[in-house]
Amino acid sequence: MTSKPDAPAVETGMLKPIKATEVFRKYESMFFFVVLIILNAFITPEFLEWGTLRNTLVQVFPVMMVALGMTMVISSGGIDISVGSIMAISGATTARLYVTGVSSLGLEPVGLAPALACGVAAACMCGFLNGILIAKCKIQPIIVTLVVMIAGRGLAQIILGELSTSLLFTSFADFGSLRIGGVIPVQMLIVVVIVAAMIFVVKKTNFAKRVEAIGDNRRAARLVGINTVWVTVGVYTLCGLLCSIAGNMEAARISVVNVGSLGLLVELDAIAAVAIGGTAFSGGKARIMGTVFGAIVVQLVTIIVNMNNIPDKYSLLFKAVIVIIALWTQRKK
Amino acid sequence: MTSQLANEDYLLKMKGISKSFPGVKALQQVDFCVKPGEAHALMGENGAGKSTLVKVLTGIHQRDNGEIVFDGNSISPANAAQAQHAGISTIYQELNLIPDLSVAENVFIGREPRKMGFIDWKTVETLAKDILDKMGLEDVDVGEPFTRQSVAVQQMVAIARAVSISARLLVMDEPTSSLSEKEVGILFDVIRALKKKNMSVIFISHKLDEVFEICDRATILRDGRLVGEYPMQDLTKLKMISLMIGRDAESVLERKREAADGLGDRQAVMAATGLSRGRKTREVSIDVKTGEILGVAGLLGSGRTELARIVFGDHKQESGQIKVNDKPVSMKSPGDAIRLGFGFCSEDRKEEGIFPNMSVMDNMTMAILPKLSKAGVLSQKAQREVAETYISKMRIATSGPDQLIKELSGGNQQKVLLARWLCKNPVLMILDEPTRGIDVGGKSEIESIITDLADKGVAILMISSELEELIRSCDRIAVLSEGKKVGELNAKEISEDGIMHMMAHGHDAREDVHDE
Amino acid sequence: MKKVLLFVVLGIVASALMVSCSKGPSDTSDSKSQPDDGKTVEGPRVAYSSVGDPNPWFLAFSAELEKEAEKRGFNFRVTHAQAKVEKQIADVEDIVVQKPDYLVLGPVETKGSADALRIAKKAGVPVIVVNRDIDGIAGEDFVTKIYSDFEWIGEKMCELVHDAFPADAKEIKVVELHGTAGGGNTIGMQKGLRKKMEAYPNMKIVSSQPGNFDRATAMKAMENIIQSGVEFDAVVGHFDEESIGAIQALKADGKKTGSNPAEGEIIVVGNGGTKDGLKAVKAGLYHNIVSVTPYYAGQVFDAIEAHAKGEELPEYIRVDDIVINKENIDEHMASGF
């Protein structure tokens, strides 16, 4: 607004008038979070209990992992709707190697660690492929990931060789329902570690700055020498990695890999979590804690519905309303 | 401030108007008065507060403080419609009329004369014709769609509409920017006619000639504050500029870089030979030496920007070679050029320069992240130090390193973008229209930054449409036309005529042979 | 360059679509190849329109039909509706064009799939309804209905829960994880369970939540029931997947499941006979299973042959199910689907 060649210091230290809407935009996910906590505290029996918190965090785990990856993708100005299929591919790869083996190659079932490593690698490769098609071949992210979403379930089934493989009574399934010290679910520990790592990445690394720059202005990013192709590939690969954590942990927890249902529709909840969390869909700053609370908000909606015997369809409506409010407050002035 | 006429009748009296936006005080205690039947110029650099003041007046922004008295009544328009109802109409550059309706319909839209409940089209057309005739537009067919008319006619129609809704005050924001000289003449005739009918006009324009031709008085703003109100006859152009930028105008306009001696002996930092790409760049050879400012002149579409993009590695040349310090280089992307020590400021700051939603600090350090980090982990302390250094060094008007760059004025944004490369100690800066869209004061500052840089030994390749700017700053000027280099002028030969002649005739003015 | 890529991408999409359609929920042979390949059987032609839900039960049933058809010299083909009524209707439209001698229909929905009956009737193809109930009149819209007696299964599950507790148990609080709402099997089991409960005044249902025949859904429902603080002694699952989801959730919460309520073990009873279900019974975590056998292809073809000979058929042919418990688990282990 102003140009003051003579008086550069005039504005320095001037108080910015803070607007209520801006505060709301910034802490929107916290707002929904608090509202839902209060609402739940009144209407849901036994809500303010350790067990509910534990349930919430365990159930929200896959959505939260995927949403963290989605946050980075959206920060770069893209979108990834193939996340659910990548979860299925990753779980299928792990289960095939760990339980079934590949008889045509004379491959006996292998141990958990190598099987998991392959599962993670498969998901990363899917993310890598997404990134290459988007950045190098310049195809729209929504198209590329739609293709991978559709093709992915088929691929997962080819990898698994059947529709579902049971992990019941395996040490992998035990790990999925492990409670550290009999109290803290292993998922909670993973969430803490991953969220801390993601916060570090976003706050401290060049990578995140470059992702944000690409999301904010891709042309300008190229012209300051950012390698937009590899940064984009990196973002989608990171998203793939987080999908693999989501897919494998969820498979272990429910002790089955079903290529039809593992990760089904997770992209919707993940995108909702990012929207509520305040990361702009046009690209820009990644808000990790926003997404964390956004994911919990999405889950709290589900919990209200489940624990109060409300039909599931209302939870979908409720989520839709929250997402609309979130996006409405995000809109450009 | 000449408010001795306090008891004289004013049509409009704005007193003590203040308006703040986040981080910016756009207007501070501004007074602005318009007499009936006068054309009043509202002057100031970009960002001085002219548009904000007009927007407060026309209800688009709400003032924080102050009073508006219009025609004896205190008003607070909440939107443009209310302002219009009060008698204040605005003629924008981009006209807000409906393109597919006819001229007549546009004049009367929303208040068509009716007969028995139906719109009386005949009367509409007769009345419209009448109004336009009075404005000297006898040739216009009022039944034709609005879009078929020239911009000038469209503008007249907008004025006609304002006149017919009995507006008392017309606000014209850059009304002549898309008009030909002849059309400007017609417009001014209309304004004079309006003045005779005791209508007042607020006239905003960057073109001083026009202001002096049509206006009676001028109010000058600077940095959101009132500088003063002057009768036109008390002002000269130079004085007006000095008041607008708050500094002696001569020093701004007449400074000319002293031609550095002995540049010819220095080694070329970058030398390109026979660069070609498509039709836009054909066999262009240029070189820039240490501490030299090479200007690139040419009309729009002459291939200036394309040349810059090839040199910066954004586009790949189809043939030709680029040497840096006498070694041939191959650049696949801007990243490669940056590693060679090149920097580039695009002509399109908004689309290709700034990261609008990122801070000044992030914008400034985006090209030197590896330098400020260890193993990919960024030191925010180092980042902040760099930002603070350059904010004070380049006198960037910002509330601090954390302010979003989009909140800065164009000139300050450009300074941040220059700092982006300066903090990298570039060997070659490629500047495409570095002062475009920047007001007079900002321009001179940026020009002096550029010449300082050259004095420190940085080679500079500068593209500009403003010949004066090139003449002031450059040591040598290459002229492009239709993708080809048509000639070069050295410091002693540089003149506006010389460049124009080359651009126009496509070859070197001094000799009739040109190198192809 | 870009065009090539576009083709590659389109190729990937196309192949993926083909995989997901043709593979469907079956790794038995491709649906079309059977009648078309060289060894085409000359016998009567039977087409099966399967629910095609990605559930192992349907795979087992369809495989069993195919085996039986081959044994008896029938020409057999199958289509998978992927649990979508519209797909089933389209499948049946395609099937009747080829005028098979019989249509075996596993309805996706009780009401929605009734349209398929009309299409077949118009084309003059007699229908044998299998797996679940459908709206229609026997002898008019279809020949007969053949499937498990779900009401009986519900009653049996109730009885098994009751018998797991000492006769003088004051109160037996039951959690029900039911199947997809509106499905004929869900309705039958819910009805049977409640009907039988009238005979046992000490039993009551404290919570009934949808498990949708799916492990993950049932697990979430169970976790939330545990958390809501409802006290219960037994869980009834409408399918093994739901029972196992419940067992997993209880295990994660540190609760024991088994056959001994005296030691605080929760009694889990369900309907099914899947491999995982049988494994859980063997491991002592899953008290009893009332089977819902997919192995009744014999009865289906018996009915077809009888109808072909002009015999009168009852409007409903019951498929018999059994109780699988710790004692007889070993002999049933191999029958898991």
Question: For residue B257, what is the DSSP state?
Answer: P
Which amino acid makes up residue A292? V
- Given an 8 Å threshold on Cβ–Cβ distance, is A254 in contact with C16? no
Is residue C41 over pLDDT 80? no
Q: CA distances (Å), C269 to each of B435, C1, C152, C193, C240, in order? A: 80, 61, 14, 12, 9
Contact C193, C157 (CB under 8 A): yes
Write the ipTM.
0.84
Instruction: Show which of residues 375-394 on chain B sit within 8 Å of chain A, judged by CB atoms.
Output: 376-378, 380, 391-392
**Which residue in this structure is represented by tokens 């570039």?**
B426
Q: Does A221 touch chain B (CB under 8 A)?
A: yes
**CA B290/CA B279 separation, integer angstroms:** 30
Q: Does B346 touch chain A (CB under 8 A)?
A: yes
Residues of B in contact with A4 (CB under 8 A): 223, 397
Long-range contacts of C111-120 (CB under 8 A, 24+ apart): C111/C135, C112/C85, C112/C88, C113/C85, C113/C88, C113/C89, C114/C141, C115/C85, C115/C89, C116/C49, C116/C88, C116/C89, C116/C92, C117/C141, C117/C142, C119/C89, C119/C92, C119/C93, C120/C92, C120/C96
- Given an 8 Å threshold on Cβ–Cβ distance, is A222 in contact with B376? no
Collapse the DSSP code of B490 into the 3-class scheme (helix H, G, I; strand E, B; otherwise coil) and give the result: strand
CATH of domain C28-142: 3.40.50.2300
Number of other residues whose CB lies within 10 A of the CB of residue B497: 9
Of the segments A98-112, B166-180, C21-35, which one has the largest average pLDDT value?
A98-112
Q: Using only C-alpha atoms, what is the Rg of chain B? A: 27
Contact C182, C132 (CB under 8 A): no
Q: CA distances (Å), B261 to each of B240, B292, B491, B492, in order? A: 36, 10, 10, 11
Instruction: Show which of residues 251-310 on chain A sit within 8 Å of chain B, judged by CB atoms.
Output: 280, 284-285
pLDDT in tens, B84-96: 888 888 876 555 6
Residue A100: domain span: 49-330
Which amino acid makes up residue A254? I
Q: Has residue A208 been placed in a domain?
A: yes
Collapse the DSSP code of C321 into the 3-class scheme (helix H, G, I; strand E, B; otherwise coil) and give the result: coil
Which amino acid makes up residue B145? P
Q: How far is CA C151 from the centre of its chain?
A: 14
Going along chain A, which residue ranges are E strands? 164-166, 179-180, 184-185, 256-258
With touching defined as 3 or more inter-chain CB pairs under 8 Å, the answer for chains C and B is no
Residue C8: pLDDT band with limits 50, 70, 90: low
Is residue A26 over pLDDT 70? no
- Given an 8 Å threshold on Cβ–Cβ distance, is B378 in contact with A209? yes
**CA B53/CA A1 separation, integer angstroms:** 12
Question: For residue A76, what is the DSSP state?
Answer: T
Of the segments A228-242, B234-248, B460-474, C68-82, which one has the largest average pLDDT value?
A228-242
Residue of C184, C192, C165 whose CA lies nearest to C107: C184
The beta-carbon neighbor of A225 closest among B351, B367, B412 is: B367
Is residue A151 over pLDDT 50? yes
Phi–psi pair at A137, nearest 5 degrees:
-95, -5
Residues of A in contact with C59 (CB under 8 A): 163
> To 10 degrees, the CA torsion angle through A44, A47, A53, A56?
-10
CATH of the domain at A313: 1.10.3470
Q: Does B287 touch chain A (CB under 8 A)?
A: no
Q: What is the mean pLDDT of residues A72-79?
A: 96
What pLDDT shows up at residue A25? Answer: 64
Interface of C with A (CB under 8 A): 2, 5, 9, 12-13, 15-17, 19-20, 23, 25, 27, 54, 56, 59, 209-210, 214-216, 219-221, 223-224, 226-229, 241, 244-245, 248, 251-254, 275-276, 279-280, 283
Which of A56, A96, A163 is most worth mutating to test chain C (most C CB atoms within 10 A of its CB)? A163
What pLDDT shows up at residue C65? Answer: 93
Q: Which chains touch B (3 or more CB pairs under 8 A)?
A: A
Q: Which two tokens stand for residue C14?
A: 């196309």
| DSSP β-bridge partners for residue B476 | B294, B490
Q: Which residue did the predictor score with more confidence, A234 or B118?
A: A234
**CA A292/CA A67 separation, integer angstroms:** 8
**CA A305/CA A322 separation, integer angstroms:** 15
Determine the straight-line distance between the first and last CA of chain A, rounded to whole angstroms: 16
- Given an 8 Å threshold on Cβ–Cβ distance, is A147 in contact with C254? no
Residues of C in contact with A169 (CB under 8 A): 279, 283
Helix axes of A186-204 and A288-307: crossing angle, nearest 10 degrees? 150
Among chain A residues, the shortest Cα distance to B424 is held by: A224
Is residue A235 over pLDDT 70? yes
Instruction: Show which of residues 9-28 on chain A sit within 8 Å of chain B, judged by CB atoms.
Output: 10-14, 16-19, 22
What pLDDT shows up at residue B465? Answer: 79
H or E stretch including B17? strand B12-21
Domains and CATH numbers, chain B: 12-87+168-253 (3.40.50.300), 101-166 (no CATH), 262-505 (3.40.50.300)
Collapse the DSSP code of B106 into the 3-class scheme (helix H, G, I; strand E, B; otherwise coil) and give the result: helix
Among chain A residues, the shortest Cα distance to C223 is held by: A55
- Given an 8 Å threshold on Cβ–Cβ distance, is A209 in contact with B362? yes
Q: How far is C54 from chain A (nearest CA, A)?
A: 7
What pLDDT shows up at residue B389? Answer: 94
- Given an 8 Å threshold on Cβ–Cβ distance, is A49 in contact with C227? yes
- Given an 8 Å threshold on Cβ–Cβ distance, is C210 in contact with A147? no
Q: Which two tokens stand for residue A250?
A: 């969820």
What pLDDT shows up at residue A303? Answer: 75
Low-confidence ranges of chain B (pLDDT < 50): 1-7, 252-260, 508-516
Residue of C131, C96, C129, C97 whose CA lies nearest to C114: C129
Is residue A116 over pLDDT 90? yes
Q: CB-based contacts of A209: which residues, under 8 Å, 6+ apart?
A: B362, B366, B369, B378
The beta-carbon neighbor of A8 closest among B52, B366, B395 is: B395
H or E stretch including A252? helix A228-254
Domain residue spans of chain C: 28-142, 150-293+325-335
Helices (H), B222-303: 237-245, 249-254
**CA C194/CA C208 separation, integer angstroms:** 12
Q: CB-based contacts of C140: which residues, under 8 Å, 6+ apart?
A: none
Contact A171, A109 (CB under 8 A): no
Going along B428-467, which residue ranges are E strands? 428-432, 459-463
**CA B5/CA B180 separation, integer angstroms:** 38
Burial of C112 (0-12, 13-18, 19+ CB in 10 A): middle
- Output the CA torsion sign for B91, B94, B96, B101: positive
**CA A57/CA A61 separation, integer angstroms:** 6
Contact C107, C129 (CB under 8 A): yes
Question: How many Cα atoms are found within 13 Å in the side-chain-facing hemisphere of B259?
Answer: 15
**CA A37/CA A23 separation, integer angstroms:** 20
Q: Does domain C150-293+325-335 have CATH number 3.30.300.130?
A: no
> To 10 degrees, the CA torsion angle through A60, A62, A63, A68?
120
Q: What is the mean pLDDT of residues C113-132?
A: 92
Contact C51, C83 (CB under 8 A): yes
Q: Please give the biggest Cα pair distance in chain A.
A: 79
**CA B355/CA B365 separation, integer angstroms:** 11
Q: Does B504 touch chain A (CB under 8 A)?
A: no
Q: How far is B378 from chain A (nearest CA, A)?
A: 5
Question: For residue C108, what is the DSSP state?
Answer: S
**CA A170/CA A179 separation, integer angstroms:** 16
Chains A, B: CB contacts within 8 A come to 150
Q: Is B224 left (phi over 0), alpha (psi -120 to 50) or beta?
A: left
Q: Which chains touch A (3 or more CB pairs under 8 A)?
A: B, C
Is residue A8 over pLDDT 50? no
The number of folded domains in chain A is 1
Collapse the DSSP code of A205 into the 3-class scheme (helix H, G, I; strand E, B; otherwise coil) and give the result: strand
Q: Which two tokens stand for residue C306?
A: 């009888």
What pLDDT shows up at residue B6? Answer: 46
Q: Does B224 touch chain A (CB under 8 A)?
A: yes
What pLDDT shows up at residue B173? Answer: 82
Burial of A61 (0-12, 13-18, 19+ CB in 10 A): buried
- Given an 8 Å threshold on Cβ–Cβ distance, is A255 in contact with C248? yes
Contact C273, C337 (CB under 8 A): yes
Which of A50, A55, A142, A165 is most worth mutating to test chain C (most C CB atoms within 10 A of its CB)? A55
Instruction: Show which of residues 86-105 on chain A sit within 8 Å of chain B, judged by CB atoms.
Output: none
Q: Using only C-alpha atoms, what is the Rg of chain A? A: 21
Q: Please give the biggest Cα pair distance in chain B.
A: 87
Residues of C in contact with A150 (CB under 8 A): 13, 16-17, 20
Residues of A in contact with C54 (CB under 8 A): 163-164, 258-261
Q: Has residue A27 been placed in a domain?
A: no
Q: Which two tokens stand for residue C69?
A: 């058809």
Q: How far is B352 from chain A (nearest CA, A)?
A: 4
Residue of C316, C304, C318 whose CA lies nearest to C144: C316
- Given an 8 Å threshold on Cβ–Cβ distance, is A7 in contact with B397? yes
Q: How far is CA A128 from the centre of its chain?
A: 16
Residues of C in contact with A251 (CB under 8 A): none
**Pairing outcome for strands B225-231 and B268-277:** unpaired
What pLDDT shows up at residue B95? Answer: 55
The beta-carbon neighbor of B356 closest among A7, A217, A223 is: A217
Helix axes of A28-43 and A312-330: crossing angle, nearest 10 degrees? 150
Chains A, C: CB contacts within 8 A come to 112
Residues of A in contact with B28 (CB under 8 A): none
Question: For residue B1, what is the DSSP state?
Answer: -
Residue A9: pLDDT band with limits 50, 70, 90: very low
What pLDDT shows up at residue C13? Answer: 56
- Given an 8 Å threshold on Cβ–Cβ distance, is A3 in contact with B412? yes
The beta-carbon neighbor of C16 closest among A59, A150, A260 is: A150
